[in-house]
Amino acid sequence: MTRRIHILPDHVANQIAAGEVVERPASAVKELVENSLDARAGLIEIDLQSGGKTQLRVADDGHGMVRDDALLAIDRHATSKIKDDKDLRKIRSLGFRGEALPAIAAVSRFELETAPAEGGEGTRIKIEGGRVVAVDEIARRPGTTVTVRSLFFNVPARAKFLRSSAAETRAASEATIQLALANLSTAFRLKSNERELLDLPRSAELAARVGSIWGDELAATLIPIDYASDGIRVAGLIQRPADTRPGSRRVYLFVNGRPFVDRFVVRAAEEGYRTTVPHGYKPALFLYLEVPLEEVDVNVHPTKAEVRFRNKIKTEATVTEAVRSGLEGLESAPSLGRHEASFQLVSRGPATGAPRPRPESGAASQIALFVPGDAPPGLPVEGEDTEVAAPMARPGAMWQLHDSYILAETRSGLIIVDQHSAHERVLFERIMQDYDEGGTASQRLLFPLTIRLSPTEAQAVEELQGILKQIGFELEGFGSNTVIIHAVPNPHPHFDAERCFREMVAELAHGSPLVDSARNQHERVAKSFACKAAIKAGQPLSGLEMAELFDRLFASELPGHDVHGRPTILRLSLDELERRFGRT
């Protein structure tokens, strides 16, 4: 009786494995570039012909291999990167399965040239469809060059599913970009049919790399974040809320230097943007997570696009907090003229140390922004790049423009504050806090207001009566669509309770983009109230009132953004002024 079960010959097993690892030229490019990065390459050149379908080549100037290592490398599960299963739990290098080279070699006409950095002879190995056809001694410079021709020549089923050359080129380019974003100290060059698609010099800063990939316009809309809590660090670049647009945007996630996709992490980041961008607007995100190696499992998917966090909830919460902390600063407000986005990419490795101390809200965080005209000596002065609010020691350095905007001198230039938007942010956060504390104080009226409503409005008021009371409106009587207001909130001296109530009720009853983006009824009412109760444009303010608005704005969590997703602050730097006046 013939045995039914037998072990597959290696080259067949490799072909099957290859199907998992190498789906298309782009995945081969990814695997090969990762190998080059693990070989500490300073420059990686990628060359595609017909999107990599006819030929793709990845050349690096990394540490290369000696002959025996090179031969071992093309054996399945041969790797220099892990030794046993304990290492698997602490993966630091990009490739680790030891399946990439054999897999690619199994489905192509494969040529590997390598020479070790220490010097010595070079090696060339030729493989066709998994079978080694030649091993030669050659002379070449240190580093490794892998050339892959006729990918899938022996797997016609797979070859049939390859897309157009343009589509494959795009995919390969995308794979390269992803790796380039994670490896700033390596230069990348990508050519397709002799045309240069990417030329990315080594960069000290992520913003510079983003700029060389997509142009400085995108880079200028990004602000750096760097936040650590409980062993998890989240750094990178996020888009200024005012620069976000609806529709597609660029999102790149990395964990310990490894690209990954995770819609929950993206959602967590977007949660950090809540109330700062209009409904449906999506920010560009470049997030670099550093978590202790044992806290993340990268061995989930053969192409390693997905990872698994041991503490998913904590990781996502840290991402939200990191984004939020980035939006707290003045940096996140739009500026006139050029932005100087700057960000030092964090080195690869596990997160260490204590969380970055967050400035306390209130007085402590209000020191450095304004020119410390008569600040007492000995106060700590924060760095130029971490502008935070200051007490209004100098009301003289503040002006109201057209009764609508407040201009204030800052350490590095000036800021223009939209008084209505600013007050909106202050009121919104105040109300959200008041909900937690059982409601706001409400001023009883000597002359109660009687207000007639439409039936729809009356119904909305009846439904929301409890929340309206929490924000300070005490109402009575719903007979014939009429309400009597006995007590009202009193958020500022120019507050017009009746007008605010009417406008708010109309908005709540009939809906608006602002209130429809709210998460629940409480937030709905808070947003509407903040918008209708805030100091209006055209309201003259005294120096003291301006100072108070400033203090409260900068004591709020997200001073740079109102509740509609508009900026509250515009910055104009001295650098920009100097540039405009031709002083530089």
Binds other proteins (CB under 8 A): choice among 361, 404, 459, 481: 361
Number of other residues whose CB lies within 10 A of the CB of residue 361:
15
- The minimum distance between CB 322 and other proteins, in angstroms, equals 24
- # residues contacting other proteins (CB under 8 A): 31
Binds other proteins (CB under 8 A): choice among 141, 312, 494, 579: 494
Binding mask 424-463 for other proteins (x = CB under 8 A): ------x--x---xxxxxxxxxxx----------------
Number of other residues whose CB lies within 10 A of the CB of residue 460:
21
Interaction between residue 493 and other proteins (CB under 8 A): yes
Interaction between residue 524 and other proteins (CB under 8 A): no
Nearest-CA neighbor of 283 among 557, 565, 527, 523? 565
Binds other proteins (CB under 8 A): choice among 399, 435, 478, 495: 495
CA atoms within 13 A on the CB side of 22: 28
Give Cα 181 distance to the centre of its chain.
Answer: 13
- The minimum distance between CB 522 and other proteins, in angstroms, equals 16
- The minimum distance between CB 502 and other proteins, in angstroms, equals 11
- Looking at beta carbons only, is 120 or 362 nearer to other proteins? 362
Q: Is 236 left (phi over 0), alpha (psi -120 to 50) or beta?
A: left
- The minimum distance between CB 406 and other proteins, in angstroms, equals 17
Is 383 exposed, middle or buried (CB count within 10 Å of its CB: 0-12, 13-18, 19+)? exposed
- Looking at beta carbons only, is 486 or 522 nearer to other proteins? 486
Interaction between residue 474 and other proteins (CB under 8 A): yes
Interaction between residue 559 and other proteins (CB under 8 A): no
Interaction between residue 465 and other proteins (CB under 8 A): no
574 Cβ contact list (under 8 Å, min separation 6) = 412, 413
- The minimum distance between CB 493 and other proteins, in angstroms, equals 6
- Looking at beta carbons only, is 20 or 548 nearer to other proteins? 548
Distance, CA of 108 to CA of 115 (rounded, Å): 22
Distance, CA of 470 to CA of 334 (rounded, Å): 34
Binding mask 40-79 for other proteins (x = CB under 8 A): ----------------------------------------
- Looking at beta carbons only, is 66 or 487 nearer to other proteins? 487
Binds other proteins (CB under 8 A): choice among 50, 490, 512, 521: 490
* Subset of 299-328 contacting other proteins (CB under 8 A): none
Nearest-CA neighbor of 515 among 529, 500, 497? 529
- Looking at beta carbons only, is 326 or 491 nearer to other proteins? 491
- Looking at beta carbons only, is 490 or 521 nearer to other proteins? 490
- The minimum distance between CB 184 and other proteins, in angstroms, equals 41
Which pair of tokens denotes residue 369? Answer: 């922004």
- Looking at beta carbons only, is 7 or 441 nearer to other proteins? 441
Distance, CA of 108 to CA of 105 (rounded, Å): 5
* Subset of 158-187 contacting other proteins (CB under 8 A): none
Q: Is 40 left (phi over 0), alpha (psi -120 to 50) or beta?
A: left
Interaction between residue 548 and other proteins (CB under 8 A): yes
**Kind and range of the H or E run holding 102:** helix 100-106
Nearest-CA neighbor of 181 among 164, 161, 205, 153? 205
- The minimum distance between CB 449 and other proteins, in angstroms, equals 9
- The minimum distance between CB 555 and other proteins, in angstroms, equals 8
With beta carbons less than 8 A apart as the criterion, state whether 162 and 168 touch: yes
Interaction between residue 121 and other proteins (CB under 8 A): no
Interaction between residue 358 and other proteins (CB under 8 A): no
Report how many helices (DSSP H) and strands (DSSP E) the chain contains, helices first.
Answer: 18, 24
Interaction between residue 139 and other proteins (CB under 8 A): no
- Looking at beta carbons only, is 329 or 489 nearer to other proteins? 489
For 293, 435, 499, the CA distances from 198, given in Å and listed in that order, are 32, 52, 58
* Amino acid present at 83: K
Interaction between residue 93 and other proteins (CB under 8 A): no
- Looking at beta carbons only, is 444 or 583 nearer to other proteins? 444
Residue count (the chain): 584
* Amino acid present at 99: E
- Looking at beta carbons only, is 154 or 361 nearer to other proteins? 361
397 Cβ contact list (under 8 Å, min separation 6) = 370, 371, 373, 408, 409
- Looking at beta carbons only, is 120 or 538 nearer to other proteins? 538
Interaction between residue 506 and other proteins (CB under 8 A): no
CA 359, 363, 368 angle in degrees (round to 5)?
Answer: 70
Q: Which residues contact other proteins by CB under 8 A?
A: 361-362, 430, 433, 437-447, 472, 474, 486-487, 490-496, 498-499, 548, 552, 555
